[in-house]
Structures are given as structure tokens and as C-alpha cells.
Structure 1
Amino acid sequence: MSLSPNPLERLNRARADLRMGLPVALTRGDQGALVVSAEAITADRLAALRMLGTPVVALTAHRAQTLKARAYDGDLARISLPADAGVAWIEALADPADDLTHPMKGPLISRRDGDAALHRAAIVLAKSAHLLPAAVVVTVPDAAKFAQENGLTALTTDETEAPETRLNPVVAARLPMRLAGMGRLHVFRPQDGGVEHYAIEVCRPMRDQPVLTRLHSACFTGDVMGSLKCDCGPQLHAALNSMHDAGSGVLLYLNQEGRGIGLANKMRAYSLQDQGFDTVEANHRLGFEDDERDFRLGAELLRRLGFPQVKLLTNNPKKVAMLERGGITVLERVPLQAGQTDENADYLATKAAKSGHIL
């Protein structure tokens, strides 16, 4: 038995390193590079990287489009870092907070030579660490050896793409709930060391009958703080009430805040919405897709709990499709109308027009 970390364990270590501003080595065949999060890099580390080679900033095509930079690689752009550019310049490339008040002074020069696979992997890794999808990348010879000599985490590009991870049950206990009565809360922990997800059985749902189910993504602002900018909290409460009225149900509570981009990036998106952008436009200006969530997690939770058939409380047809691709039979989509306010009218309209929600 080996005591060395396996690829999934090293992936989780690499995420933590990026969040602290520590370089991670990426390799692909005989190619290699050191990558650092654009939002976490320090002046000292930038200077050290420059001693190894010529850094570039890898950005998603969405972010490059906002900056009017050419994305020659299709899904991303590799922006040359000027010799006099410092940490503030890199942060301004990655973070759109001041785009309107301090427009970028171009021209931004995009690289078009060579392979972008290492840069693409760097962005994938930054996203999985809930950082802005931007990274400083410096190619180095024998990156794996460099990582070993300097105590850095090394991954291959294939290892940055986490496979569908197994969710292991940790504990379950009875839970009396104000809105749903007696239930049972299950905690599941993913094998890749990521955040835990929860399943709440309301009353005693039968395994041989389709169960009323809500696939709910964590929303700290809506579920906890009662935000009026979204309908998440009211939908959560309405789902629990519906399960109580039906006599049973299953609530799957997935820790995928902000459509999978994390709370910090969600608040960045909120700040952009205050500037007049809708929720999809805000995500794109940050460099993210419309929705970064993985609903395969919900299908696995249902399989682990023994519920092969559901009646799904949702207005989002993509949730239905994702569960069915995960082997769960969705016998009925049950509309969930709750939480419409004057404050979230534009948000709901955007969900209907751009994300396909049926309201």
C-alpha cells in the first residue's frame, strides 16, 4: 500500500495551493508550466516567475471578449504580460470590478503560437478552486522535476479534470423541521476532498414509489439571509411545505453556491449586476459560463439512497435532463412557483429568456 497521494488527492492539494497563491506545476507529455492564480499572485512570486521565463495570463474567451482581446485558442486567450506590468495589471485583467470606471489600456496582445493545453488546464484548475478563471502561466523545462525540487504540487493536464467522484455517506440522524415535520438528514462526502452535500428525507418516503424531490443548490444569500434578489429561499421553503403536504419527499441540498462559482465570485457577479448587467452577462464578464453546476451529484445521491424514480420540483428542464442521464427516472416535472418580488423580476426574466426556465 502506497502512502503517496493519488491523483484526486493531489488535485485537491493543488486547489488549496492556488487559493494561497502558491504555484502548481502542470505537465502534458514533454511540455510543462508553472501556474499561479491571477487573483492570488504576489509581487514576489511574479518576480520569481519572470526569472524562469516569459509569463502570460490565461483568460477564458468570455473574459477576453469583454476586454476586446483575441481568443485565438477558441475557448481561451493567452495574453502576453508586458515587462512593466505588475500584480495590479494582472488583477485588472482577471477581475471586472473596475472595467467601467477604469477601462483597460490596450492593446492587449494575444499569443497564437504553440499549444494552449497547459493554459486551458490552468483555467479548469482555477475554476475548481472557486477562484476567478484566470492564471499566470510560465512554461518551464521538466516541470515535474522542478516541482519535486521545490516542494510544489504537480499534476498532468488530464488530472485537472476531476472524474465524476463518488459520494460516500458520513452520518445520518433524525431532524425535526419547522416546515416539513420529522425527517432524516444524510451527510455525504466526495472522494475528491471537496465540500460535503446533503440529502434530507422528509417523513418516510417509500423506495418503490416515485418520490417528490427537490434538487436545490446552496444559496447563502437567499436561503439564510432572505435575499430578495433571487427566489431561492422561497423555493426551498415551498418545496419543504409541498413534501410535508404530500406526506414525504427528498430534498437534495448541493453545495454549489452561485451556480457553481462559489460565494465570493457570486458576490462579484452581484456587484456587476449593480452596474446594470444581468446575471448571465455578469458571469460572462467574470469569465464563467452561464451555469457551472454539476447535477450528476444529485443523481448519485438518489442512487445511494435507493430512489430510482422521482417527481421533480423544478422550473429548470436541464435538471430533469441531467438526472435522467444519471440513470434516474423523472416521471413528472412539478412546477415550483414561489418568491417572485419586484426586486428579482429582472433576474427571473433572465432565467426564463437565457437559461430556459419555465416560469
Structure 2
Amino acid sequence: MTKLAQNPGSTLGTPRTRAVHRAIAEARRGVPVVLAAKHPLIIVPAETVGAEGLRLIDTLSNGPAVLLLSPSRAAAVLQHEVEAKAPAIALKLARPLIDTETLKRAADPTLEQILPRFETTAPPPESEAALALGKLARLLPAMVVAPVKPGWASQKAGADLLAVPAADLLAYPLNLASSLTRVAEVAVPLDAARDARLIAFRALDQGIEHMAIIVGHPEAQEAPLVRIHSECFTGDLLGSLRCDCGPQLQGAIARMGREGNGAVLYLAQEGRGIGLINKLRAYTLQDEGLDTLDANRALGWEADERNFHIAAAMLEALGIHKIRLLTNNPEKVKGLAACGIEIVERVPHEFAPNGVNDSYLETKAKRFGHLIG
């Protein structure tokens, strides 16, 4: 297994990681930040920006502002095809900047789509990093972006704004995984596995913790059974019938209980990494006729946005070096292998449809390539 750096400061020192954390918080508050690069930009999420944020961009920008969208979302807004492999599509914005309500509608396809006619323009450098900030903040990846004036920090309007290197935003997911540490461990007897233990992991961002559900002593096995399970509030906790997440979680624990050993890595990556709110938005689009994959893309996200480096770091900390992976998803096998996890066997983990999730499971098989049905 590839060993991740145990000292994130070697690649991203404390002041710089703090800048990324602050940038994520500012994005969620709708406060612009400056993307430090060869051609610096002032950026703010379209979902959260208010009138004051737009005023700051008007005041501090050194050129026209644009709305950055993923190609899939831009195609829907423009109502014509765009370059699908482009990192971002830039839509021209009038100056003074367009109203916040229109920006929110352009970002969010679940809102009523009363939109002006947009024209495209060349996206600025560092567009990928700008959209990455929106994703790190678990917002819709739609950003208002403009070149920033030289000397912006010395102006009264820019004195309190944060600057964050574009490269640090792009490197952050890997650095986050490399900083993961064990913070708590306790026995939690479960109905299907009386000797289960919970081990909590936290990364340097001090965000939501990831959990390992340990049955027996999998670290003593040559290749224990392991399930990499992304949290699902609706399925795991509420028992939603829209997906098969709840049965998959309980079924994994029950199987490990029978075998006497195993580990479920419960990753805080709701909705394949898009977050709970965006997953609920995707559900709204599914109710309007889109499948799981197209709903995610309509929101500007990829089909799967999970950071499997987190799983690799957890397994290394647990002393597990080879695994039998409990999954139906060949792409998960490839993704985990790319992170250095040695998988000696893929173990099927299939559950029958329940009359509600039939089309969901069909989409998994036909469009995600899951080996089910």
C-alpha cells in the first residue's frame, strides 16, 4: 500500500492549510476570496453571494466578471452543447454585476429557471481551482470570477479579504487524507456483531469525522473483508427506500459478524462526495425524470466525487495492507487500487430491489457498471 505523508506540513504548511480552511468557510458565507496565482482572481460562489459580495467584486476587479460553470450545467443554462471535456465554461456577466437571485438560479437547476440569455467567453486561468473551492465547501460548483486589481490588498475594500493559492486548493484532498489521525476508540456491541468497535478518524481540517466499524481483529488476517461505505443519512439512518445503502451497511456488518472479522470504513462523503444538501437536490431532479448520474451532472458535479485516499489512510492506520473488498462496483476497485490499496478479491454485495429503488439499481448497473442484476 502506498504510504501517505504523515506530516502534511511537508507539502502544505500550517498557515497555508489554515488559508484553505478559511477560504472554505468564506465561500459558505458568500464572502469573496482572492485566488493567488500568476493571474490572480477574485471569486465567490454564486449560491451564497449577496449584494455586498458582488459590490466587492465590482470594486476590486480589473476586468469583466464571468460565471464559471461545469460543462454539464453550462449546457443546460445555454440550452446548447458545449465542450464536455473543458474544465469550466465561462458565461459573460454584465457590469454592474447581475443580481444575486439570477446567479442562484443559474447555479441551481432545482430553482425555477427564469434566466437571461448568456454568452460564453474564454474561461480565465485557474478556473479548475475556482470550481474546486465551491466543491470543497459542498456548494454548487458555480463561481463568480473576475481578475483582481494589482494592489487590491492595500485598498480599503480588500483589506479584510483572504488570499489562497490556487495550487493549495487543488492539492487539498490528498493533503487532507495524509493528515488523518485516530482520535477515539470504543467497544460498541452491535446486534449482528457483538464484539464490534468504533474507531474515529479526524483530518487536520477538524471537519466531520470518518469512522471505522471493526469486527474482531481484521488486522491479524492476511486479507480481511472490508466494506468502503459512504455515509447516507437518508438510507442508513432513516431507512429510505430510494437506495440500497441501508441494507448494504447492515448486510456488511452481519456478514463480518458471521465471519468473525472485518472492517467497514464509514466515510463522511454523502452522496458519492457531493454532500447531503446536494444529494437532496439530486433527488429533486430525479423526481423530475433524471437518473442518478444525470442528476449529479446537472448540478455541476461528476458522477462520483469521493476521495478514496481517505480510505487508504484509514487502512494504513489500522494495519490492514491487503483486503477482500465487499462491493459490486468495479470503478470503486479501480479507484481504491489507484490510491495504493491492494485488493486480492472483489466480493459481491447485492440486495434485491424493493419496489421503490428498482430504477436506481438499474441505473447503477447500466450507467455506473455495477455488477448486479
Normalised by the length of structure 2, the TM-score is 0.88
Residue 151 in structure 1 maps to residue 176 in structure 2: no
State how far apart, in whole Å, the 1-side matches of 2:148 and 2:349 are. 53
Cα deviation code 1:123-143 (max 9, x no counterpart): 111001100000111211237
Alpha-carbon deviation of 1:179? 2.1
| 1:22-101 alignment, distance < 5 Å | 22-29=31-38, 31-53=39-61, 54-68=64-78, 71=82, 74-83=86-95, 85-98=98-111
- Alignment partner for residue 10 of structure 1, among 8, 19, 32? 19
Letter matched to residue 349 of structure 1: E
Classify 1:178/1:75 alpha carbon distance in 2 versus 1 (closer, same or farther; 3 Å): same
Letter matched to residue 327 of structure 2: T
SS in 2 for 1:6: helix
Aligned residue in 2 for 1:356: 369
Aligned residue in 2 for 1:286: 299
Residue 104 in structure 1 maps to residue 112 in structure 2: no
State how far apart, in whole Å, the 2-side matches of 1:332 and 1:319 are. 13
Q: Which moved more, 1:345-354 or 1:255-264?
A: 345-354
- Name stretches of at least 5 consecutive residues in structure 1 with no aligned partner: none
Cα deviation code 1:52-97 (max 9, x no counterpart): 3332111111111112367579221111113473111111110001
Alpha-carbon deviation of 1:339? 5.2
Letter matched to residue 226 of structure 2: T
Paired residues of 2:202 and 2:209 also in contact (CA < 8 A): yes
- Could you tell me the percent identity over the aligned residues? 38
Letter matched to residue 165 of structure 2: T
Deviating above 6 A after TM superposition, structure 1's stretches of 4 or more consecutive aligned residues are none
- Alignment partner for residue 336 of structure 1, among 337, 349, 362? 349
Aligned residue in 2 for 1:236: 249
State how far apart, in whole Å, the 2-side matches of 1:171 and 1:144 are. 44
Paired residues of 2:312 and 2:340 also in contact (CA < 8 A): yes
State how far apart, in whole Å, the 2-side matches of 1:263 and 1:224 are. 13
Q: Which moved more, 1:329-338 or 1:318-327?
A: 318-327
State how far apart, in whole Å, the 1-side matches of 2:151 and 2:310 are. 34
Alpha-carbon deviation of 1:6? 2.3
State how far apart, in whole Å, the 2-side matches of 1:341 and 1:172 are. 35
State how far apart, in whole Å, the 1-side matches of 2:155 and 2:173 are. 24
Aligned residue in 2 for 1:202: 215
- Alignment partner for residue 202 of structure 2, among 189, 192, 198? 189
State how far apart, in whole Å, the 1-side matches of 2:296 and 2:93 are. 24
State how far apart, in whole Å, the 2-side matches of 1:27 and 1:247 are. 52
Letter matched to residue 256 of structure 1: Q
SS in 1 for 2:220: coil
Paired residues of 2:46 and 2:142 also in contact (CA < 8 A): yes
Aligned residue in 1 for 2:4: none
- Alignment partner for residue 125 of structure 1, among 118, 127, 133? 133
State how far apart, in whole Å, the 2-side matches of 1:173 and 1:193 are. 20
- Name stretches of at least 5 consecutive residues in structure 2 with no aligned partner: 1-8
Paired residues of 1:21 and 1:40 also in contact (CA < 8 A): yes
Paired residues of 1:309 and 1:329 also in contact (CA < 8 A): yes
Letter matched to residue 222 of structure 2: Q
State how far apart, in whole Å, the 1-side matches of 2:169 and 2:155 are. 16
Classify 1:275/1:315 alpha carbon distance in 2 versus 1 (closer, same or farther; 3 Å): same
State how far apart, in whole Å, the 2-side matches of 1:104 and 1:34 are. 24
SS in 2 for 1:243: helix
Paired residues of 2:105 and 2:113 also in contact (CA < 8 A): no
SS in 1 for 2:189: strand
Cα deviation code 1:263-293 (max 9, x no counterpart): 0000010011111111111111111111111
State how far apart, in whole Å, the 1-side matches of 2:136 and 2:312 are. 20
Classify 1:130/1:210 alpha carbon distance in 2 versus 1 (closer, same or farther; 3 Å): same
Going by fraction, where is strand more abundant, 1 or 2?
1
| 1:207-356 alignment, distance < 5 Å | 207-338=220-351, 340-356=353-369
Alpha-carbon deviation of 1:102? 3.6
Q: Which moved more, 1:73-82 or 1:207-216?
A: 73-82
Letter matched to residue 44 of structure 1: E
State how far apart, in whole Å, the 1-side matches of 2:155 and 2:136 are. 21
Classify 1:313/1:146 alpha carbon distance in 2 versus 1 (closer, same or farther; 3 Å): farther
Cα deviation code 1:18-44 (max 9, x no counterpart): 001111110212x21211110101123
Letter matched to residue 268 of structure 1: R
Alpha-carbon deviation of 1:325? 2.6
- Alignment partner for residue 140 of structure 1, among 142, 148, 151? 148
Alpha-carbon deviation of 1:146? 5.2
Letter matched to residue 36 of structure 1: V
RMSD of aligned alpha carbons: 2.2
Alpha-carbon deviation of 1:225? 0.5
